[in-house]
Amino acid sequence: MAAKVISTVDDLAGLLSRTGVFDAKWYATQNPDVVAAGMDPLDHFIHYGSAEGRAPNRYFDAAWYRDSWADVASSGFAPLLHYLRHGEAEGRRPHPHFDPAWYRSAYGVAPAASALGHFIGHRTRRALSPTPDLFAVPFITPYCGTLAAGGDPIAQYLDDVTGQGGEAFPDPGLIAASGLLDENYYLINGSDVHAADIDPVSHYCRYGWRERRRPNIYFDPVWYAQTNPEVARLQVNPLLHYLVVGEAANRRPVPYFDPGWYRREYDVPADQPVLAHFLRHRRSQNVSPTPLFDIRWYVSRLAAELGPNRDPFAHYLQAGMTRDIDPNPGFDAAHYRRTHIGRPSRGFASLLRPDEHNPLVHYLRAQYAAAVPSAKDSGGKKRKAPSRRRARVG
């Protein structure tokens, strides 16, 4: 029996050394008796703590792991040994809020390295998430401050949520507060959600984004994912990514909304999402989503057709597919259509799409694809932006 115990201790010491899953600082904080005894945290865990059921880090729960995987108890291995030898490679979670298979893929962890060890070693220095559901946490207040101070934002968030008896899923609260989900638009275009009497924000955060539903007219989740490959790699809600990462980096939610320009043009405070500002004011006929759409000029020319309380650019998106309406005095829609798109048949008007058949949107897509390295068209290839001379864009 003694030889078996020594072998287990030696195995555990070697695995902890190679994988980096032991968090000495956290262990000392959670076990003041070890500090009071003057023992080295790692030595204590190897010789006593593991057998006593103490955790090596915040993200390994021995009891939960054993109860979640029925074969662990009959394997003869202690839960941590089983996880390090077999469980992680098999994609088994060591904790409800750590997904090793997702984490390895999302952050490119080498096959020979431990995903959990990588997270333990880097979580206080980089905006990393242990699961896709917690992606937003390191970017939001107050947890971004925790990271900046060298702390663990995920641990603080989980402790806060547990203390409040809430669900460890920040997305619905963030999306609801942002104003980026247009409930009327979402329900009109999702009659099944309306019929099921499901809260639109909850549905979108749990199901809608996976089904590629649009949360508003000015956010295209498919195009956004194509132009931001990180979204697909991380398998996260594209609207949430835009909210906590993309907008600040001037990544467009659609080809025809320029967040950086809009914030400067309309002096939107830094703590307010500019897309939400536009959604609130777009029917006022005083704000434009792009500098190439001259809102006053357009409204003055089409005032009778537009009428009051109507979004001029939404009108242009549809009308501009079949009619050569110029969005500003320097953009010749007819010339651009002849040069780059071709004249559509009015008999197939119902099949037209603004992204392909509206001259300005077509131009903006190509321009953005040429300017942003990750921006690609639906075929995965970068488009060459039309020249300003040939497009006659002023």
Closest by CA to 65, choosing from 96, 21, 44, is 96
Stretch (H or E) spanning 259: helix 259-266
Looking at the DSSP assignment, which residues form a beta bridge with residue 95? Answer: 98
What is the per-residue pLDDT for 355? 79
What is the residue whose two structure tokens read 């002023």? 394
- Please tell me the predicted confidence (pLDDT) of residue 389: 42
Whole-number pLDDT of residue 150: 96
Q: Which of 105, 360, 172, 178 is nearest to 257 (CA)?
A: 360
> Which residue has 């242990």 as its token pair?
130
CA distance 234 to 352: 32
SS3 of 123, please? Answer: coil
| Cβ neighbours of residue 150 closer than 8 Å, sequence gap 6 or more | 124, 125
Q: What is the pLDDT of residues 31-68, one digit of tens each?
A: 999 999 999 999 999 999 998 989 999 999 999 999 99
Q: Which segments of the chain have a pLDDT < 50?
A: 1-7, 376-383, 388-394
**8 Å CB contact between 295 and 287:** yes
Q: What is the dihedral of CA 98, 101, 105, 111, to 10 degrees?
A: 110
The pLDDT, as a whole number, for residue 158 is 97
pTM, two decimal places: 0.89
Q: What pLDDT shows up at residue 377? A: 41
pLDDT score at 6: 40
* CA-wise closest residue to 315 among 331, 299, 330, 328: 299
Q: Is 74 exposed, middle or buried (0-12, 13-18, 19+ CB in 10 A)?
A: exposed
Residue type, 163: G
Q: Hunting for tokens 């004249």 — which residue is that?
A: 343
Amino acid 393: pLDDT: 42
